[in-house]
Amino acid sequence: MGNERRRAYLHLATCPADEQPQLHALLTGHGFREAPATSMPTQLRDDSLYTCDEFPVGTDETVDTGEFAHTIMVSALMECAPGASWRFWSGIGYADGTQVMGELNLHHPSLGLFPKPEPALDCDDDGRVWLSMATVEDLLQRSAAGEAVDLAAITGGQWEVLISQEAQAQTTPRLQI
């Protein structure tokens, strides 16, 4: 695994001004661009989507550590922009001819990284969480046994709400006539 590619996305809700140069350099170095533009702007913008068409599936052979490319990118995002709020996901891809789910991580400075301790949630190409049939069956069994099952806690709902609120706060209201 590692020689096949898929698309990756970063929805940047907010990023402190002093962290933007490092984050810009990281994204540019990995081939990201602002969607739907064909290039990277000179400055990052809050509440923007950045995409990379050629993101490695599996291990990243360019760094030769044996770590998964998605995990390496999440660590780099955390290191260069710990005060930023974001959703990072890599879409569905193929490794050695087998389809692999996308991977999703969420970050908010007041909550930290999600999920923990797992490296990422499975997701589809749009970054929507995907639960396996085994997981759903386990949740149903736990619920039937009287255990409280909190899907928001399992899927990062608290992170999603805070990230969404921050992104919306960055959006300029449109004048209605």
Residue 2 confidence (pLDDT): 44
- Binned at pLDDT 50, 70 and 90, residue 19 comes out as very high
| Residue 97 DSSP one-character state | T
User: Which contacts qualify for 108-112: CB closer than 8 Å, 24 or more apart?
Assistant: 108/159, 108/162, 108/163, 108/166, 109/82, 109/83, 109/84, 109/85, 110/162, 111/158, 111/159, 111/162
Report residue 174's pLDDT band, with 50, 70 and 90 as the boundaries. very low
- Confidence band of 34 (pLDDT split at 50, 70, 90): very high
In a 13 Å sphere around the CA of 37, the CA atoms on its Cβ side amount to: 12
| Conformational region of residue 66, where left means phi above 0, alpha means psi within -120 to 50, and beta covers everything else | left
Q: What is the pLDDT of residue 65?
A: 57
pLDDT class for 5, splitting at 50, 70, 90?
confident
Residues 6+ apart with CB under 8 A from 39: 33
Residue 1 pLDDT > 50: no
The model carries a pTM of 0.85
Mean pLDDT for 8-35 is 94
Residue 39 CA to residue 57 CA, distance in Å, equals 23
Dist CA 177 CA 165 (whole Å): 25
Distance of CA 28 to the CA centre of its chain: 17
What band does 39 get if pLDDT is binned at 50, 70 and 90? Answer: confident
Contact, 120 vs 172, CB < 8 A? no
User: What pLDDT is attached to residue 98?
Assistant: 84
48 CB-near residues (< 8 Å, 6+ apart): 11, 12, 34, 35
Could you tell me the end-to-end alpha-carbon distance of the chain, in angstroms, rounded to an integer?
55
Burial class (CB in 10 A: 0-12, 13-18, 19+), 62: exposed
User: What is the average per-residue pLDDT within 114-142?
Assistant: 89
